[in-house]
Amino acid sequence: MQTYYLAVDIGASSGRHILGRLQDGKMVLEEIYRFENGMVHRDGKKLWDVEHLFAEIVNGMKQCKEQNKIPVSMAIDTWALDYVLLDEKDEVLGDTYGYRDSRTAGMEKELFRVIPEKELYYRTGIQKQTFNTIYQLMTVKKRTPELLEKAKTFLMLPDYFQFRLTGNKVSDYTNGTSTQLVHPVTKQWDDELLDMLGYPKEIFLPLSMPGTVVGTLTQEIQEKVGYDLTVVLCASHDTASAVMAVPVPKGRGLYISSGTWSLMGTEVEEAICTEESRLANFTNEGGYEYRFRYLKNIMGLWLIQSVRHELKDAYSFAELCDMAEQYEDFPSRIDVNDDVFLAPDSMIRAIQDYCKRTEQKVPEEIGELCAVIYHSLAKCYGKTAQEIEENTHQEYDCIYIIGGGSNAAYLNQLTADASGKKVYAGPAEATAIGNLIAQMMKQGEMKSLEEARKCVAESFELQEFEPKRRI
């Protein structure tokens, strides 16, 4: 009998149910269900339809029964930052906002009246992003304070979905750190900071490590899906799961978890909360076994995804890469982390306006736009690699690109050229793999994270890219 594990991996544009198992010492994946996701635009707000997402989680679980492949456990991961507030009846209070909603505009001023920006970084280690949960909650406090007054529980989205499955409320550490409300030394909510900000600390549950058992399915869910299993915490921040799946480095390596966002960094044992790190906008997000993911959030493939959507998805990403290569010498570059690219009405126009404003040649052709994006991303990766080496006082001889963006061979080559380092690309399903690793380790099929990463390296093919020229 095969032992199956179910990873429910929900991204900002789609979700997938992936069954994993070990066979002859290698991990085998099977996608059994996929569904669409996206922020819902309602009354000028960007929201998540949590009822739709939960219904799709259950629909995917039903597929296991239909295929007679019943998992022993499951875990859910999603993007970070977004949350629900529950009332005394465990009903969701208000709307469930997406992080790209503009409601947090100006909230950093309100926050920094309470705690200076420098002090906030030193006590959390998390980079300033105005859509972080800490700013979202300040928006609630200032505009709809009655929601905080009625709230009995705060849950990040994966924790909420797992509560809906089991009836048990458990909060994951890795996703909790993304809120900018967790202390990097105690590894728990910073009660003093919560008091300073006026956020009711009693609504925040103790933070638990991946591998913690949430519970079994409620009777209602069992009847819907046709079986029972154990729900286990994975590293529910999708990047934390993805980093668990970084293959064993041949030497000392950096990683880029490449998708809608590019998360570029390394693992460290203690948070690096120096002024140099703050000024370079690095973050110390929580990882498995209380390791820190010292990384920078980079706008990532959101740029090319947005351009593709504006073109009515008429071209594949491979075709867009080919077009970019035809305009390899197009000179203009953008700061991919500029806020103008966060949620523009038109990404094409935003790129053109940026080039015009900075007195660079304005891209008009599709290939020119793509060349600007890919070269600008690679340039940012190269600069970030240099900053990590300076801030950690270590040298790294390679970069591991994991996640869906690992399939972008053209960008991988540009990254090798821009950084001067060898690039290993793959696996593409790193987040789901990391999700499964947490479950397999809980079950005892893997003894350590090092053993799990060795298994990943032996189970999935990696592409290699050597630097060809410095750009």
Q: Classify burial at 393, counting beta carbons within 10 Å of its beta carbon; exposed 0-12, middle 13-18, buried 19 or more.
A: exposed
Peptide linkage before 427 cis (omega within 30 of 0): yes
Copy the structure tokens of residue 194: 């919560």
Q: What is the pLDDT of residues 56-84, one digit of tens each?
A: 999 999 999 999 999 999 999 999 999 99
- Position 147 confidence tier, pLDDT thresholds 50, 70, 90: very high
- Position 213 confidence tier, pLDDT thresholds 50, 70, 90: very high
Single out the catalytic residue among 82, 172, 238, 417: 238
Helix (H) or strand (E) holding 321: helix 317-326
Copy the structure tokens of residue 41: 């635009």
Return the sign of the alpha-carbon dihedral for residues 431, 437, 443, 448. Answer: negative
Helix (H) or strand (E) holding 41: strand 40-42
Quote the distance between the C-alpha of residue 106 and its chain's center: 24
User: With a threshold of 0.75, does the pTM exceed it?
Assistant: yes
Q: What is the pLDDT of residues 178-205, one digit of tens each?
A: 999 999 999 999 999 999 999 999 999 9
Check residue 2 and give its pLDDT. Answer: 93
**pLDDT of 248 over the 80 cut:** no
Check residue 456 and give its pLDDT. Answer: 96
Copy the structure tokens of residue 104: 């947090």
Is 238 an annotated catalytic residue? yes
